[in-house]
Amino acid sequence: WQGGPTGPCGPCSEMYLDRGLDFGSEDDRPGDDSDRFLEYWNHVFMTYNLSEDGSLTPLPKKNIDTGMGLERMAAILQGVESVYDTDLFQPLIELAEEKSGLRYGEDEGVTRAMRVISDHSRGMTFLLAAGVVPSNEDRGYVLRRVMRRAIQQGKALGLEGSWLGDFTGRTIEMMGDAHPQVVAERDRIDRWVRAEEESFGRTLDRGTALLEEIVARAIEEKNSWISADDAFRLHDTFGFPYDLTREMVEERGLSVDDQGFEVLMEEQRNQSRSNAGGGAEGADRHQRIIDFAAAGPESEFVGYQYLRAETGIGALERVNGTALAKLEQSPFYAEGGGQVADSGRLVWDGGEAAVSDVIRIGDDQVLELKATTEGEGAWPPDGATVEALVDRDARFRTMRNHTATHLLHAALCERLGTHVHQAGSSVGPDKLRFDFSHGESLSPEDVGWIEERVNGWIKDGEPVRWMVMEKPEAEKLGAMALFGEKYGDLVRVVEVENVSRELCGGTHVANTAEIGIFKIVTESSSAANVRRIEAITGPDAIDWFRDRAGELDEVGHLLGDARDPVRAARDAATQLAEASEGAKKAARKEQGRLATDLAAAVGQIGSFNLVLAEVPIGNPKEILTVAKQVQATSGTSAVLVGADRESGKVGMVALLTPDDAGKASARDIVAEAAPKIGGGGGGSDEMAQAGGKNPDGITEALAAARQFLESV
């Protein structure tokens, strides 16, 4: 047993109560999935410390960690089937029956919901009494997940209004005599339960409706899973705990992309740290921007038509070397819909400032400015008219990439099938990134076809139009909407003639010919069943081709054939493979010779007849190969330690015959000797190995192994 990836660990014993054949069959065994054997006590014999490299080091002070399941013991003593049938839970389950009008045990879903509510009510009561409050950080996040899962399960039972406080209240009545702190904190507990119930209750209906849409779509498309992006949207937008989403989805026979969700969560954490310096500072910054946006008049975005605007300052707030600003009219695009924000400048009589970010707040926007000069002229004076100038080059490069993203999406659907759905995108001036649902990597033929298709549309010079219309009208036109995105009554449709229609608020070229050229740079896995393409367009693609051509020329010169570098590279690869195979044959021959010599050096150490020797090899894998050859030749065990003096690597292998392994463990031999070579390792009774960094300790390691074998 081990409590984590590192730390104290050791063998354990488990105690079970055999509850008889009424709970299973004669074939059931302790530890299997049957209900017959109930584990109620556990002993862990803490023996080793597990290091990050997997090595086990004996603890200086061994101990026994014992733990009894007190609630399970209560179930045993009260003669009931489960802990939920004890007097610790039944008053809460009876309350759930009273409030819902349903009977515990009549239906699997009802039973599960009542158990969750009773268990989570107890947990949240004690957490709140201990001073934990619901939040999105650390233990507060654990509490919030517990509370929201209970609320959702109550919804499944048909409970409406404010009801959760009744369960924490009954918990206080039941546990107050033994735990007076929950009585003392009753008002605090009630206050936080009400607040979280109201907060989450407002979004639960919307989130559940969205989840039902996601599940319906997955079933319609014959998928057995929902995407990580859908699960992340529920978590990020509606505050759904991920385990709640997973549970609700699994109830419908589907699964969730766990790995992909973790990737998205880590990306969000990294982005938050990058943008805001992390933690409370980032939350404070975000709230400050929201408050600032609400304080001033809403900006009018004119960036679809203009890259320059003379406009007034609606609001300005200075913060050290930066400032927040709102323009009456803004040509700057605020980050959204996968497209990065514009950059540029504000210029006024007597000064200018750089626009470093444009933050979208609903239909409004806030500019983040950086001073380019010092003193009084660093910021525009009150009432000033400024010239707002978008970085034209960056905007046009972004426009090319955004329109190319629509072409790529259309080509993917055409090549791979209608199951392809956008699962995320990022469009900036340097490149585009497009994530899409697909269960396998694209072949080189697929990538080539898609590139050719997109470049064909670019060559055809298809017009690109955008229009604003009511959403039902856009749906009639077949405009593709991103699932889960929020759209108002009026939507903006971007149409590439003869190619695609999508709901999109981003900026685009007027004709596909303006893209110039399209090149896929990478195709990889983003998450389970999600692929990612990164591509470049226009001058960036031309630069890419130029760089690759230069590298190819350089390869040709290095290989002595500048006219046909590809043939030269193939010839060099063949020669390298032949040389590598020759080196491997020589190494195998040398290992065989070494094994023969070692097999002749079998000696008696204590009760063991084996080979204990130093070898001129530092790689444990190669040492193991030699040890196996020694054992095959001599029929004895082998304990070998060696080093590669050039690299400084040291390795050790203990390979025991079954008879010798009955007297001593190879794992224990390595544990005794490995510290002498500055390392550690592990393995089984018959084979164990270790790596180290101290070749000067080989003699001591062999001596330690000898001493251990003599003592057995």
* Helices 258-276 + 279-295 axis angle, to 10: 70
Span 172-196, average pLDDT: 90
Query: Does 50 have pLDDT greater than 70?
Result: yes
214-226 mean pLDDT: 85
Task: Give the C-alpha separation, 641 to 616, whole Å.
Answer: 9
Q: Please list, residue by residue across 619-647, b when 16 or more beta carbons sit within 10 angstroms of its beta carbon and e when fewer do.
A: ebebbbbbbbbbbebbebbbbbbbbeeee
Lowest mean pLDDT among 244-248, 521-525, 695-699: 244-248
Q: What is the pLDDT of residue 589?
A: 83
Q: What is the pLDDT of residues 390-432, one digit of tens each?
A: 999 999 999 999 999 999 999 999 998 876 878 889 999 999 9
Side-chain half-sphere CA neighbours of 594 within 13 A = 21
pLDDT of residue 113: 93
3-state secondary structure 255-309: EECHHHHHHHHHHHHHHHHHHHCCHHHHHHHHHHHHHHHHHCCCCEECCCCCCEE
**Of 487, 471, 484, residue with least CA distance to 215:** 484
Gap between the Cα atoms of 146 and 128, Å rounded: 12
pLDDT at 276: 47
Give yes or no for a contact between 406 and 504, defined as CB atoms under 8 angstroms apart: yes
DSSP secondary structure code for residue 36 in this structure: S
Q: Which of 130, 131, 132, 92 has its CA nearest to residue 114?
A: 92
CB atoms within 10 A of CB 678: 15
More confident: 381 or 113? 113
Provide the phi-psi class of 391: left if phi over 0, else alpha when psi is between -120 and 50, else beta: beta
- Please indicate whether residue 381 or residue 157 has the higher confidence score (pLDDT): 157
- The mean-pLDDT minimum among 210-214, 277-281, 466-470, 565-569 falls in 277-281
Place of tokens 């978008």: 390
Higher pLDDT, 261 or 646: 261
How many Cα atoms are found within 13 Å in the side-chain-facing hemisphere of 381?
7
Of the ranges 401-415, 572-586, 694-708, which one carries the lowest mean pLDDT score?
572-586
3-state SS, 658-681, equals: HHHHCCCCHHHHHHHHHHHHCCEE
For the chain, report the end-to-end CA distance as a whole number of angstroms: 26
Handedness of CA 603, 605, 611, 616 (dihedral sign): negative
Band (pLDDT 50/70/90 cuts) for residue 294 is confident
Element (H, E) at 443: none
Any idea of the CA torsion for 630, 634, 639, 641, to the nearest 10 degrees?
A: -40
Residue 158 pLDDT > 50, yes or no? yes
pLDDT of 696 above 70: yes
Q: Are 157 and 100 in contact (CB under 8 A)?
A: yes
Q: What is the mean pLDDT of residues 240-248?
A: 79
Q: Which residues contact 138 (CB under 8 A, 6 or more apart)?
A: none
Give the model's pLDDT for residue 347: 94
Measured between alpha carbons, how far is 694 from 688 in angstroms, rounded to an integer?
19
| Highest mean pLDDT (candidates 31-35, 50-54, 135-139, 510-514) | 510-514
User: CA-to-CA distance for 52 and 701, rounded, in angstroms?
Assistant: 22
Q: pTM higher than 0.85, yes or no?
A: no
Which range, 24-33, 261-270, 643-652, has the best average confidence (pLDDT)? Answer: 24-33
Two tokens, residue 528: 């389970």
Cβ-based neighbour number of residue 150 at 10 Å: 26
Q: What is the pLDDT of residue 484?
A: 46
| Phi, psi for 614 (deg, rounded to 5) | -95, 140
- What value, to the nearest 5°, has the Cα angle with vertex 44 and ends 43 and 49? 170
**Portion of the chain with pLDDT greater than 90, in percent:** 40
Which tens digits make up the pLDDT trace of 450-501?
999 999 999 999 999 999 999 889 888 888 876 446 677 889 999 999 999 9
Measured between alpha carbons, how far is 360 from 486 in angstroms, rounded to an integer? 14
User: Which of 578 and 637 is assigned the larger pLDDT?
Assistant: 637
Residue 462 near residue 496, CB atoms below 8 Å:
yes
Alpha helices in 103-163 (DSSP H): 108-129, 138-156
Residues sharing a CB contact under 8 Å with residue 221, sequence separation 6 or more, in sequence order: 419
Contact of 397 with 538, CB cutoff 8 Å: yes
Above 90 in pLDDT, residue 20? no
pLDDT at residue 528 in the model: 54
How many whole angstroms separate alpha carbon 640 and alpha carbon 493? 72
Confidence of residue 85 (pLDDT cuts 50, 70, 90): very high
pLDDT at 277 over 50: no
Closest-CA residue to 464 (of 501, 413, 422, 517):
501
The residues with which 436 forms a beta bridge, in sequence order, are 422, 531
Q: CB-based contacts of 77: which residues, under 8 Å, 6+ apart?
A: none
Average pLDDT score over residue span 48-56: 89
Q: Is the pLDDT of residue 233 over 80?
A: yes
Task: Give the pLDDT mean for 34-49.
Answer: 89
Give the residues across from 466 on adjacent strands. 494
pLDDT digits (tens, 9 = 90+) for 439-449: 688 999 999 99
Backbone phi, psi, residue 88, to 5°: -80, -30
pLDDT of residue 419: 67
| 389 beta partners | 308, 345
Mean pLDDT of 582-600: 81
- The token pair that represents 513 in the structure block: 């010919």
Percent of the chain topping pLDDT 70 = 95
What is the structure's pLDDT at 110? 93
Beta-strand relationship, 329-330 and 300-301 = parallel
pLDDT-derived band of residue 221, with 50, 70 and 90 as boundaries? confident
- Report the mean per-residue pLDDT for the chain: 87
- Residue-wise pLDDT tens digits, 369-379: 998 887 777 88
Give backbone dihedrals phi and psi of 60, rounded to 5 degrees, phi first.
Answer: -65, -30
Considering only CA atoms, which of 70, 95, 94, 96 is closest in space to residue 83? Answer: 70
**Alpha helices, H only, 511-564:** 538-559
Give pLDDT, residue 138. Answer: 66
Q: Please give the Cα distance from 415 to 442 (Å, whole number).
A: 10
β-bridge pairing 56-68 and 37-50: antiparallel
User: Cα(526)–Cα(532) distance, rounded to whole angstroms?
Assistant: 5
pLDDT of res. 269: 67
Q: What is the mean pLDDT of residues 584-598?
A: 81
